[in-house]
A and B are shown apart, each in its own frame.
Chain A
Amino acid sequence: MTITPIIGLEVHVELKTKSKMFCGCSATHFQVEPNTHTCPVCLGLPGALPVPNITACQWCIKIGLALNCSVNLETFFERKNYFYPDLPKGYQISQLQKPFSVNGFIDIDGQKIRINRAHMEEDTAKSQHQLVDGKEATLLDFNRSGVPLVEIVSEPDITSAAQAKLYLQKIQQIVRYLQVSDADIEKGSMRCEPTINLKIENNGKTYYTPLVEVKNVASLTGVQNAINFEVKRQTEEFNKTQQTKSAKNKTTRGWDADKSKTFLQRHKEGSSDYRYFPEPDIPPIVFSQKDIDKIKDNLPELPDQKLIRYKSLGLSDYDAMLLTDDYLFSLAFDKITKNNPKIAKSVANLLLGPIKEHLNQVQKDLDVDKINPQYFASVIDAQLSNQISATVAKTIILDSFQTGADPLIIAQDRGLIQVSDTSKLEEIVDKVLKDNPDVVKNYPKNPNIIGFLIGAVMKLSAGSANPQIAKQILEKRLK
Chain B
Amino acid sequence: MSDLNSLTLFKAKDGLKAKKFSSLELVTDCLSRIKTLQPKLNCFVSIFEKESLDKAKKADLEKPLGGIPIAVKDNFCVEGTKTTASSKLLDNYQAHYSSTFTKRLEDAGAIIIGKTNMDAWAHGSSTETSDYGPTKNPWNTNHLPGGSSGGSASAVSSDQCIVSVGSETAGSIRQPASWCGVAGFKPTYGRCSRYGLIAMKSSTDSPGPIGKTVDDTAYILSLVSGHDPLDATSLDLPPWQPPKSLTNLKGLKIGLPTSYFPSQIQPDTKSAIYNAVKILEKLGAEIVKLDDMMDPKYSIAVYTILQRSEVSSNLSRFDGVRYGKDRSFFGAEAKRRIMLGTYSLSAGYYDAFYLKAQKVRTLICQDFDKQFKKVDAILGPVSPTTALKLGATKDQAMFGELQDMFLEPSSIAGLPGISIPCGFDKTGLPIGLDIIAPQLREDIVYQIAKIFEDNTDYHLSKPKL
Residues of A within 8 A of B (CB): 40, 44-52, 79, 81, 83, 85, 88-91, 140, 270, 272-273, 275-277, 280-283
Contacts and interface: CB of A to CB of B under 8 A. Distances in A.
Contacts of A90: 313, 315-319
B346 A272 contact: yes
B202 to A, nearest CB: 4
B118 to A, nearest CB: 14
A81 B96 contact: no
B197 interface: yes
Q: Is the interface of B mostly helix, strand, loop or mixed?
A: loop
A46 B231 contact: no
Contacts of A282: 232-233
B232 A281 contact: yes
Given A45-B96, A88-B317, A89-B317, A277 B350 contact: yes
Given A46-B93, A83-B319, A283 B232 contact: yes
Interface string B201-234: 1110000000000000000000000000111110
A275 B232 contact: no
A68 to B, nearest CB: 30
Contacts of A85: 319, 321
Nearest to A51: B232
Interface of B: 75-77, 83, 85, 90, 93, 95-97, 99, 194-199, 201-203, 229-233, 309-310, 312-313, 315-319, 321-322, 342, 345-348, 350, 354
A51 B231 contact: yes
A272 B313 contact: no
Contacts of A48: 97, 195-196
Nearest to B199: A47
Nearest to A52: B232
Contacts of B342: 275
Nearest to B355: A277
Contacts of A281: 199, 202, 232-233
Given A49-B195, A49-B231, A272-B348, 12 more contacts: A40-B97, A45-B77, A46-B198, A47-B75, A47-B95, A47-B195, A47-B197, A49-B230, A83-B319, A90-B313, A277-B354, A280-B201
B26 to A, nearest CB: 29
A127 to B, nearest CB: 11
A157 B330 CA distance: 48
10 contacts: A44-B317, A45-B77, A46-B85, A47-B77, A79-B313, A81-B316, A85-B321, A276-B345, A282-B232, A282-B233
Most interface-central of B77, B312, B319 (chain A CB within 10 A): B319
Contacts of A50: 232
Contact of A277 (B75, B85, B345): B345
Contacts of A51: 229-232
B316 A283 contact: no
A130 to B, nearest CB: 17
Contacts of A140: 321
B165 to A, nearest CB: 14
Contacts of A40: 96-97, 196
Nearest to A272: B347
Contacts of A83: 316, 319
Contacts of A283: 232-233
B97 A45 contact: yes
